[in-house]
Structure 1
Amino acid sequence: MNPVIKALFAFYPPGNDPSTGDGLNTIGFRAPASAAQRTEYAWLRLDHHFTANWRFEGSFGWHRNLADAPLQVDIGGLLRGNILGQAKSVRSDRQFPRNIVAALTGNIRPNLTNDLRFGFTRFYFWRQAIPPFPQVTGTNVALDLAATLLDEPVDVFVQRSRSQGDNQNLYQFSDNLTWIKGSHTLQFGATARIINHYHMREDKVVGGMSALIALLDAGTFFTVPAEWRPPTCGGAIQTNCLQPADISRWNRFYAALLGIIDNVSIMMTRDADFTPLPFGTPLMNKFRYQAWDFYASDVWRVRPSLTLSYGLNYQIQVPTKTLDGRIAVAVDATTKQLILPKAYLEAKRQAALRGAIFNPTIGYMPIRMLGREKTVDTDWNNIGPRVAIAWHPHFEGGLLGRLFGARKTVFRGGYSLTFDRLNLVQLVSIPMLAAGFGQTISVQGPKNARGEPFRIGVDGPAPLPRAERVTPPLIPAVPFSELFSFQADPKLRPGMMHSVNFTIQRELPGNTLLELGYVGRWGRNLPQSVNLNSVPYFMKDPVSGQTFAQAYDLLAAQLRAGVAAGAVTPQPWFENQLPPIATLQQLGLCPAAASTVTSCLASRFASEIVTGLLSNLWLNRIDLFRRAAGLPSFLNSQVQELFFRTDGGLSNYHAFMLIFRKRPSHGLQFDFNYTLSKSLDQVGSVQNSASMFPSSFFPNLDYGPSFFDHRHIANLTWYYELPFGPGRRFSAGHWVDKLISGWFAGGILTAFSGAPLTVVQSSQVFGGGAIFSFGTGAIPIKKPKFGSEVHRGVKGSGGVGTAGDPARRGTGLNLFADPEAVFKNFRPILLSQDTRSGRGVLRGLPHWNLDFSIGKAIAVTEVVKFRFSFDFFNLLNRVEFADPALDLQNPATFGVLSSQFNQP
């Protein structure tokens, strides 16, 4: 073991949670940490009537929220005052909202009312974390061990160790006019919003921070040769070997323990003239955003039993304008034309189908040098109509009379088209993260003086990247002088939603109502994220006609079956699209024992091929071979992840709903609702996170159940005033009545079926990206029917689910009675055959919860009342387990239940 890593391990407390480790190399650590929260607020309201027809309303709100965030903790006692083995929250969140509202409402005429409002909201947010720092002597940088596979004594992972801040001032003006004319109620209005926004951050989401971090890992710029690890299990080799699913994890742990540096990176920032700022300077920028909404509507009482309402909304969103000019946009370095992601991907797709390469050199220019101020063009076409009808028929006698009654049923239906709001993540955060003003620079796969992989401490301090001054356009150097670049599509348009509903509401005896209905939602042109470096795995070899997908599937199948690297069948795509084997051997890229390019790939990169790490395979293996031989690369080798937030996504939602409601009477009221629904989308998290499509060429590969698709949802709320006291069913005298009167009880019962679960193969199966692509589901061999319940006393078998084995201090809790059988029921994706992934084919655990309240109201005087209550959350103190991880690359934890869904 590397002595620096050994010194770092001295700051790890003993593990105490086997259910979160792999049962062999890692174990979890659980400890209480402060999540204290302090909230203060004040509110002042002023109402004044100038005349009988004109009144003023004004209010001021002040709020402060201070919270410890146990997302970054010190478990090693590294920071002053902290103790080894005691988790200490070292990240805090500070929020200081303020708001002012002023409204003037007047009755201009008896049938004409106007409401004029002004609002100001100031939102200040600051998230303070401990930036990564060298945690042991012998190193000059923070160490990140195997990325997310291992934690550090003080978290180094970007999402936990970054500081961010926002200072936002929102000004809003609105005017609404209501005019009642005959049987029409007409409304007209407009709203104007202006937002001035300051944003500061120390990160580029993942992989880049304004602190120096050395990633000790394998898979991107460092590869563990096959001869450095045990053989792969298969054929006659069944002992002292690695299962194919374990190769990647073994390689990563091996690199971390030896202290081998994959890369050393830092996010450096530049001034408006591209002058590098000192290391540690965060990204900062100021923006202005404006939006206007106009609407007109009419509620028309056609007849006493028939009401028609209709209207039109027009929305204008003027995207953010940078006030500091520190925004860079991607251009074709030759033509200086803007890169448009949809056109870029289509050109790349067409070229790949022909066996050709589309890979222009990309540059980054300050937005003002292109004559632009705004990050996204304004869409002037957001016109949204709506129409609805309500019919209140009168039936007497006969079948219809018995079914619908006399004025006891209402039929309602409607349609609307609404447009999404372009939020400030898309208009502020993402544009700030393009290469140029915030650039992730790195030293990739460094070597020591002997030409061997660099080991931290053993070979000296980590080599550091250097910042250089450039003149626009910034053209990232090859290979991968920039790891990540984020940008909004200049043609980004707001998403839209077509909504339809139809309901029947029937009044029933006992002051109750029954309502049945259908709700449909069709989301179109939704925001989605793509990667211009998505792998064109359908690329054809013009000589043989074989595609990469076909060659890859055949090679991966042999390696998964245990065929030795030297015995794999040569595949024409690899042999023709990569340099000859002799050339690769002369360059030192293939072992002398390899007789073909295919066997060379199999011997060197079996882990990527078996697991399905296509982005790594293309970016850092195949293109490396081509560049070394002087051939053009298939993918862009300047920037590893070319993230663009664009549009074009879709979702579909259908639901049947039932509502049974009792209006207050005899002290009792309740509301029961049930929904049977189905929601489908293209990986919804792509819309609101840094994740990207599994393949940017085929957005529907992961079309399936939404993450929130709970098919059955039921809620029951009730409130009951107990029948004790004067005028009630039970009364017993003056002083007794005071004791027993005023009592009430209420509760909330919620229940819902399990969410979709995916058995993940890897996040790079279709080559969507090396970092931000979403985990792709493996394919079930037969229709899965494994149930969704907590199984106890499960030991696991065949290396699957064994982290929960009670004999190993595991909990014995598993989602499946036989996790090995479930594990073996899923196969890897076949690129040349599968047009859909296995997303959401399983269902997680159902959940239910009961909250209860009981209290008493006391009348002190006619105008003074006192009320107290006892509120019981999770009344029965039930443990609800969170759904487990289902990862083919980590079989030991497959199905193991190790965390809680609800609060105790």
Structure 2
Amino acid sequence: MPYYRNDDQYQAVMNVNWLKGQHNVRFGTDIYYQALNHTQPEISGGTSFGARGGFRFRSGPTQILGGPSGNQYNAFGAFLLGLPDLVGRLRLVEPYTTRMREYSLYARDQWEATSKLTLSYGTRWEYFPIPTRADRGLERYDVNTNQMLIGGVGSVPEDLGVKVSKTLFAPRLGATYRINDGMVLRAGFGITNDPYSLARPLRTNHPAVLNLLIQGPNSLAFASRLADGIPPIADADLGNGRISVPSPLTVFTLADEFNRGYIRSWNAAVQKELRWGLVAEAAYVGTRQINQLGFLELNWSPINGGQAGRQLNQRFGRTGQTRLIAPVGDSQYDALQARLERRFANGVQFAVNYTLSKSTGLAGNANSDSALRINIPELYDLNRSVSDFDRTHNLHITNITELPFGPERRWLSDHGILSQIAGGWQVNNVLSFYSGTPFSVTASGTSLNAPENDQRADLVKPDVQIVGGIGRNSAYFDPLAFRPVTDARFGTAPFNLLRGPGVASWDLGVFRQFQLQRELNVQVRMEMFNVTNRPRFQNPGNGNTNVSNLRLNPDGSVRDLNGFAVITATQDGSERQVRFGVRFGW
């Protein structure tokens, strides 16, 4: 089914600046309005097979209770038998809409306290009302009545009865101190409210989009038979604003009072001017995200609880995903950032930027519209890990060089033939080196039997060797460092324990400037990305991190990796690319 989007955005901004003595006062307002109009069969943050529907085949239906861990062969056997463990389809009833509004005010004073010290301080106020649809409010699931509340219909208020804060103030403070003409100290602190829009996850909420998911009663059972197809999804009637929800459909909800998280950020930097036009800078940067937003699965099941153990199944017979949009925890980022720059002079400029950093948070919660990997409340701490996007080292070297030949240059400036050929050339280089991102080693969740929770592998070696192999028959990491889990518990390997391949890349640009007339010039450029055509390998894919696929000999040696621990793909766009262009200037 095609996607159609018609998104109108309107923004009104007013700023006032007032200079008084050593003070530079600035204040203003920002009003933002966004209208989304989508024909797009998808669902945010939930499992979905799309408008076509689909079947998922895992190992459980062909496993034996208490037997060996399942693998790809079990899953293929389930496929041949036509026994899926999950069946689903998404139905878009009609184009859906959202209307989102944001209001903010700010005031800031920049004060030159002394000839060396400058202070900047102020605050920002923000208000994020609950979004609506074009003709009524949005929807939320009522966990007390097992009904969907339709905003603006019947007795249900347009804002769904959800309270949002009107006291979201975000103070900021910065200071600059000039020790001398060649050395400056800078520091700053600020708070930023999480700007995440509730329109994103709620835009596809039931009944605007009907997402059917049918699962088996436990991890060993099948959900349906392939021969039976996918059952139809009935239309939903808005009624009096309180409607029933079919058991297997996915829904989203909010608490009666929505708590929007915020981010604390601070930094301290020293900048020093060196000889030969060099400028060096070193800084510490830290952030703490408090009450980071995400999706909490309310319909989780305990270990060995199966479908019957789902929290809402016990109360209402509900088996579908039920996502609460709420704070899920905190995250932090700390970094040393260093920079050495030579400002453009005599046709040469270069900069070296290096960052040593670490980001920790909750596995699976890379942004505000994702869910935790373990959803049992007393085991939330098992999600804590290095962030999915963390890169320890990040080095970039950039350079711009105008070749010293041709008119008004150091050599061959006589306007002769060689001068015309060799003049006007510019060469640009970008060298990039950065660490890979983390990934987790998983295992079959059949013995865990806990829907809405991901199983981890057992770690059996204290240190996991990165072998570095690439290709189908070559392990990237030591495959014998992990074992499947065959009883009812979580594995011992932490999430994001390993890190994928890093990247080394060289980008090159060659420009040639032609002066056609006094006020007319043309620039011909060639830009080459990844000059050496060096592959940028992906992390091992989802199927390649499941230790249950590993086949061992009786003596414990590897018989067949069977896809486990291998890298078989490169990142999109990592091949060498060459681009040509022409630019006219007058």
The TM-score by the shorter chain falls in which range?
A: 0.7 to 0.9
1:201 correspondence with 2:40: yes
How far does the alpha carbon of each residue in 1:525-582 deviate from its partner, in whole angstroms, 9 at most, with x for none? 2111111112244xxxxxxxxxxxxxxxxxxxxxxxxxxxxxxxxxxxxxxxxxxxxx
* Structure 1 residue 780, shift from structure 2 partner: 2.5
Task: Tell me which of 681, 703, 727 is aligned to 2:361.
Answer: 681
Q: 1:783: how far off? A: 2.5
Question: TM-score, normalization: structure 1?
Answer: 0.56
Cα drift, residue 189 of structure 1: 0.9
The equivalent residue for 1:755 is 437
Residue aligned with 2:259, SS: coil
Question: Paired residue for 2:391?
Answer: 710
List, as ranges, runs of 4+ consecutive aligned residues in structure 1 with deviation greater than 6 Å: 442-446, 763-768, 826-830
Distance in 1, matches of 2:226 and 2:493, equals: 40
Query: Which residue, 193, 196, 199 being the options, matches 1:422?
Result: 196
Give the residue type in structure 2 aligned to 1:364.
Answer: M
Correspondence 1:362 to 2:146: yes
8 Å CA contact 1:725, 1:731 repeated in 2: yes
Calculate percent identity across the aligned residue pairs.
22
Q: Map of 1:466-615 to 2, 5 A cutoff?
A: 467=234, 473-476=242-245, 481-537=247-303, 614=304
Give the greater-gyration-radius structure (CA).
1
Distance, in Å, in 2 between the alignment partners of 1:225 and 1:693 is: 24
Q: Does 1:215 align with 2:49?
A: no
Q: Which amino acid aligns with 1:363?
A: Q
1:176: how far off?
0.7
Q: Structure 2 regions of 5+ residues with no counterpart? A: 551-561, 577-586
Kindly state the Cα deviation for residue 430 of structure 1 after the two structures are TM-superposed.
2.6
Q: 8 Å contact 1:168–1:196 — kept in the other structure?
A: yes
Q: Which amino acid aligns with 1:215?
A: F
The 5-angstrom pairing of residues 771-810 of structure 1 reads 773=453, 775-787=454-466, 789-790=468-469, 804-805=472-473
Return the match for 2:166 from 380, 394, 410.
Answer: 380
**Counting strand residues as a fraction of each chain, which structure ranks higher?**
2
**Aligned partner of residue 377 in structure 1, secondary structure:** coil
1:763 to partner: Cα distance: 6.6
For each residue in 1:322-379, what CA deviation from the matched residue of structure 2 results, as whole angstroms up to 9, or x when unmatched?
Answer: 2333743222xxxxxxx4xxxxxxxxxxxxxxxxxxxx65222322334321255332
Letter in 1 for 2:468: E
Deviation of the 1:417 alpha carbon: 0.6
Number of residues of Structure 1 aligned to a counterpart in Structure 2: 548
Residue 699 of structure 1 aligns to which amino acid in structure 2? Y
Contact residue 264 and residue 465 of structure 1 kept, 8 A: no
Matches within 5 A, 1:269-308: 282-308=93-119
Instruction: Output the CA distance in 2 between the equivalents of 1:823 and 1:440.
Output: 36
1:868–1:254 CA distance, 2 compared to 1 (3 A): same
1:844 aligns with 2:500: yes
Give runs of aligned pairs for residues 128-147 of structure 1, distance below 5 A.
129=1
- Describe the shift of the 1:649–1:262 C-alpha distance in structure 2 as closer, same or farther (beyond 3 A): closer
SS across alignment from 2:365: helix
Q: Write 1 or 2 for the structure with the bigger share of helix.
A: 1
What aligned pairs does 1:47-86 form with structure 2 within 5 A after superposition?
none
8 Å CA contact 1:530, 1:646 repeated in 2: yes
In the alignment, the residues of structure 2 paired with residue 764 and residue 168 of structure 1 have an alpha-carbon distance, to the nearest angstrom, of 43
Aligned residues of 1:765 and 1:776 also touching (Cα < 8 A)? no
Mapped partners of 1:445, 1:783: distance in 2: 37
Counterpart in the other structure of 2:581: none
| Structure 1 residue identity aligned to 2:159 | K
Of 73, 77, 81 in structure 2, the residue corresponding to residue 254 of structure 1 is: 77
Question: Which residue does the alignment assign to 2:475?
Answer: 814
- Structure 1 residues 502 and 828 mapped into 2: Cα distance closer, same or farther (>3 Å)? farther
CA distance in 2, matches of 1:521, 1:186: 27
Counterpart of 1:193, as a letter, is Y
Q: Are positions 1:900 and 2:582 aligned together?
A: no
- TM-superposed deviation, 1:510: 0.6
Whether 1:619 and 2:430 are equivalent positions in the alignment is no
Contact 2:252 2:324 in 1 (8 A): yes
* CA spacing shift, 1:765–1:665, aligned 2, 3 Å: farther
**SS of residue matched to 1:786:** coil
Amino acid in structure 2 at the alignment position of 1:858: F
Distance change >3 Å, CA 873–CA 361, structure 1 → 2: same
Cα RMSD over matched residues?
3.3
Note if 1:432 corresponds to 2:204. yes
Partner amino acid, structure 2, of 1:780: L
CA distance in 2, matches of 1:842, 1:519: 25
1:527, 1:645 within 8 Å by CA — same for their partners in 2? yes
Give 1:732 deviation, angstroms.
Answer: 5.6
SS at match of 1:253: helix
Q: Structure 1 residues 469 and 323, CA, compared in 2 at 3 Å: closer, same or farther?
A: closer
- The offset of 1:485, in angstroms, is 1.8
- TM-aligned CA distance change 1:515 to 1:731, over 3 Å: same
Distance in structure 2 (CA, Å) of the matches to 1:746 and 1:311: 40
> Is 1:325 aligned to 2:136, yes or no?
yes
1:787: Cα distance to partner?
A: 2.8
| Distance of aligned partners of 1:490 and 1:858 in 2 relative to their CA distance in 1, 3 Å threshold | farther
Q: Measure, in 2, the Cα distance between the counterparts of 1:466 and 1:315.
A: 41
Letter in 2 for 1:889: S
Cα distance between partner residues in 2 of 1:469 and 1:737: 77
1:14-70 CA deviation, whole Å, 9 max, x = no partner?
xxxxxxxxxxxxxxxxxxxxxxxxxxxxxxxxxxxxxxxxxxxxxxxxxxxxxxxxx
Return the offset for 1:843. Answer: 1.8
Change (3 A) 1:780 1:765: same
Identify unmatched segments of 5+ residues in structure 1.
1-128, 130-162, 233-242, 269-280, 332-338, 340-359, 395-406, 447-451, 538-613, 625-631, 793-803, 806-812
* Cα distance between partner residues in 1 of 2:421 and 2:179: 49
Q: What residue is the counterpart of 1:189 in the other structure?
A: 28
